Amino acid sequence: MKKNANLFIILVFIIALVLPNALMLLDEKLLKADLNINLNQPLISIGKLKNFYLENYGTKSELVNSYIKFKTNITKEDPIPYRVINGKNGWLFLGNYYNNVFNNSFGNNKLTTKNFNAIKNNLIACNTYLKTKNIDFYTLVAPDKNKIYQEFLPFQLKSNPSNIDLLNKLMPENFKIIDLKKSLLQHKKNNQLYLKTDTHWNSYGAFYGYKEILKKIDKNNSYNSFDLLDFDRESNSNFQGDLSKMIKSPIKETDTKLKFKNNLNIEVIAYSSYYQHYKNSKGNGKIMIYRDSFSNALIPFFNATFNEVILIKKHNLDKNLITSFKPDIVLFEIIERNLSLFEKIKTP
């Protein structure tokens, strides 16, 4: 009896070793893989085979998904507690250490009804106040990189409605939050939109985001709009993003900035990390933007479009500043992982 039990354990062990490899050999990915095996460079070739195996061995996705679901649903533990996740092809991503950003990527970290109602009521209160001043109010939630480049995440889960999707369903029909996800997914086939080693989008991502924002807020075609042909490219091949710095990695990448071909003569009225004020004699209208760091790459595009731009790093309306500046538009911008901060807005 004991002998049979041992033989059974050995058999199961052999199947566990052989099955993933057999499934990988039958996978179409192996036939399509461009491994470029070079016998004159054995170490490089072995490294390519090793990386391919680690990413594609049979049942990998099923095993990883089962592990994540077990940790999340059974043990109630965070399956991805890391600050930084190593993705595929050199992509780095924030882990759940930062506001459960990995879980948010797949809509698996729902805010509570109380959270949603607080955000909704705060945004409606801001909108109501600004309407009394004849000012248009918009809210922009910029997508995390994990949302736009999911294919480079090391793990995949079934996607559920995101917090933005659910919040938009609660908002009045005439006040929808600007969600750039669909637009960015459409444009990423043309250019890389986010930095591989950083948490932020690059100039291309910000440009396509700007175009979508302008489409939403420029109802009467009142503002200047620009196309990619209006820009030169300026590349920095030694860019090191915040994610690579976070893990003290020497990884660098090329960051391409879009620079206007024509000098726009933007006047800097005030500049600090908290408050910035710009003026452009060729622009139209005034906009006030309450924001976070994700909007940094948007600033040149807004400066080119509007006559005056004020940017403030917080999300509480400054009544005195609004009265003195008299903006045509107030825009709240926030990165998706920090959406819950809208619960803490001090309403007028």
The two beta strands, 178-179 and 329-335, are unpaired
Q: Which pLDDT does position 18 carry in this prediction?
A: 61
Q: Which pLDDT does position 83 carry in this prediction?
A: 80
What is the side-by-side strand order in the sheet with 275-279? 178-179, 136-142, 329-335, 286-290, 308-312, 275-279, 267-271
Q: Which pLDDT does position 146 carry in this prediction?
A: 92
**Alpha-carbon distance values, 34 to 24, 44, 46, 90, 214 (Å):** 15, 14, 14, 17, 41
**If phi over 0 gives left and psi between -120 and 50 gives alpha, with beta otherwise, what is residue 254?**
beta
What CA–CA distance (Å, rounded) separates 212 from 331? 14
What CA–CA distance (Å, rounded) separates 71 from 87? 20
Q: Which pLDDT does position 62 carry in this prediction?
A: 61
- Size (the chain), residues: 348
Q: Which pLDDT does position 250 carry in this prediction?
A: 85
Q: Which pLDDT does position 55 carry in this prediction?
A: 52
What CA–CA distance (Å, rounded) separates 101 from 199? 11
| Radius of gyration, alpha carbons of the chain | 24
Residue type, 84: V
What CA–CA distance (Å, rounded) separates 278 from 43? 54
Q: Which pLDDT does position 78 carry in this prediction?
A: 44
What CA–CA distance (Å, rounded) separates 313 from 258? 24
Angle subtended at Cα 329 by Cα 324 and Cα 334, rounded to the nearest 5 degrees = 110
Q: pLDDT tens string for the chain (348 positions)?
A: 656 666 666 676 666 566 556 655 555 554 455 556 666 656 555 655 555 555 555 555 566 566 556 655 666 554 455 788 888 999 999 988 778 888 888 888 889 999 999 999 999 999 999 999 999 999 999 999 999 999 999 877 778 899 999 999 999 988 989 999 999 999 999 999 999 999 999 999 999 999 999 999 987 778 888 999 999 999 999 999 998 888 788 889 999 999 999 888 899 999 998 999 999 999 999 999 999 999 999 999 999 999 999 999 999 999 999 999 999 999 999 999 999 999 999 888
